[in-house]
Amino acid sequence: MATLRKYLLSDIHLKELFKGSSIAFIFKLFSVILGYILFYVLARKFGALGLGIFNTCFTVLILTSVLAKIGLDTALVKYIAEFVATDKKNQISKLYFISFSLIVISGAISGGVIYTFSERLSNLFFESKAYTQLFKIIGFTIIPFAIVQLNSEYYRGFKKITTYSILQNGTIYFIILIFIMFITAKEQQIENIIYFLFFTSTFLMLLSTFFIFKSNLNLSANNKGQVLGIGKRKLISVSIPMLFSNSLFLIMNWTDTLMLSAFHGEDAVGIYNIALKIASLNTIALIAINSIASPKFSEIYSSEGGRRFRRIVQQTTLLTCLISLPVFIVILAFPESILKIFGHEFLAGKPALILLSVGQIVSAFSGSTMIILNMTGREKIGRNILTITVILNIVINYILIPRYGIVGAAIATMSSTILWNLIAVIYIYKSFGFFTFPFNRNKI
């Protein structure tokens, strides 16, 4: 244990990584718990049907907000970390204002499309026009939701992990839960939850944007040097491949939900998403560590590189493995007991839970592969890897979901998750001379 502690805390970069990831892990764990509580409350109050409606609407919001951000949130992390490391802070204000304005424009376009086709979306996913209004609300929610995500990544670039974590979905879950607690029985309808999703996103957008504008004004006042090197064209040339990577990644993760809704209805979506939420516990450490690893990778690669970069990559994977493996073992040992917490109807998700957990633990042991590619100027490679696996994911989902339902969806997600991780690991080895696995002894 003493040797392991010495290895983990052997240098200043790893100490910062450990501290930042610990904060992010606590917030992420809190967010996951809130998410489970929200899903539990929705499942109890509205059943699998209501939970499926909420999941479908939330999925559409997440996918369209990714398109609205056009990769600018990820690019923002890369450039802020790089500018801080190379003493070019005077460029950050312009970078943020350009990103903000572009997202407002693209968000308005995305929202307009969702609003225009709201009736068709309702027919597609719910086979009814009754939920058209819900998609119209989602259309209005896209801009505030996307701006909140941009603002959280702004703080992530500065490695202000506490503020970054507060702006993640856990806060939205928390506020919605408070809303559910105080509404009357007559007002307890799933439509009201979607309305409140809009109000919550708008509130967080206004609050976080106010403080960022204030900090940027101070930053501009303290940095009178010439602003060079970042314009809309250059920023978009970097962000677009990241957009494709982020959107393809989300498409791969949410295609199963949307196809289940189309082929099997909202009950199957509700059961499957509970299994997916539980399986995702395997990667909670990876997500938390990536929150600080992204700017750290960019900083070290641009300023030090070489053996130091390899060391921090493998240390992040080690931290991930130490946390994820016990979670995986618990899920495999007690799948029925865990699912039964949400209600007996969710026991049908046991096979899916096991399959999804296998895919997630492989992802955890592979490390921060896509983050490494994005933060080292190889975002186009990441895009190409995900393009291949997304196509495979869609094909497998289309073949298996009509026949096998949630099990088919789980097989598709597990297969594609394992594939893109292994391809990325191999590419990183060929590019940098080392595997992302912990304690790897290959020479650079």
The pLDDT, as a whole number, for residue 144 is 93
The pLDDT, as a whole number, for residue 440 is 54
The answer to whether 256 and 356 have CB atoms below 8 angstroms apart is no
The pLDDT, as a whole number, for residue 15 is 65
Provide the domain count of the chain. 1
Average pLDDT, the chain: 79
The pLDDT, as a whole number, for residue 12 is 62
Q: Is the pLDDT of residue 411 over 90?
A: yes
Q: Is the pLDDT of residue 302 over 80?
A: no
Is residue 438 one of the residues assigned to a domain? no
Taking residues 216-225, report their average pLDDT: 52
pLDDT-wise least confident of 57-66, 214-223, 312-321, 408-417:
214-223
Is residue 437 one of the residues assigned to a domain? no
Write down the pTM of the prediction: 0.69
- Categorize the per-residue pLDDT at 80 as very low, low, confident or very high, splitting at 50, 70 and 90: confident
Taking residues 319-332, report their average pLDDT: 85
Using CA atoms, how far apart are residues 359 and 283, in angstroms rounded to an integer? 10
Using CA atoms, how far apart are residues 421 and 286, in angstroms rounded to an integer? 13
Is residue 212 one of the residues assigned to a domain? yes
Is residue 126 one of the residues assigned to a domain? yes
Domain hosting residue 14, numbered range: 2-432
The answer to whether 75 and 92 have CB atoms below 8 angstroms apart is no
Is residue 160 one of the residues assigned to a domain? yes
Q: Can you list the pairs that 329-333 forms with residues at least 24 positions away whose Cβ atoms lie under 8 Å?
A: 331/278, 331/279, 331/281, 331/282, 331/357, 332/357
pLDDT by residue (tens digit) across 86-130?
667 677 788 888 888 889 999 999 999 999 998 888 888 777 788
The pLDDT, as a whole number, for residue 232 is 66
Taking residues 248-262, report their average pLDDT: 75
Is residue 441 one of the residues assigned to a domain? no
- Categorize the per-residue pLDDT at 44 as very low, low, confident or very high, splitting at 50, 70 and 90: confident
Q: Is the pLDDT of residue 225 over 50?
A: no
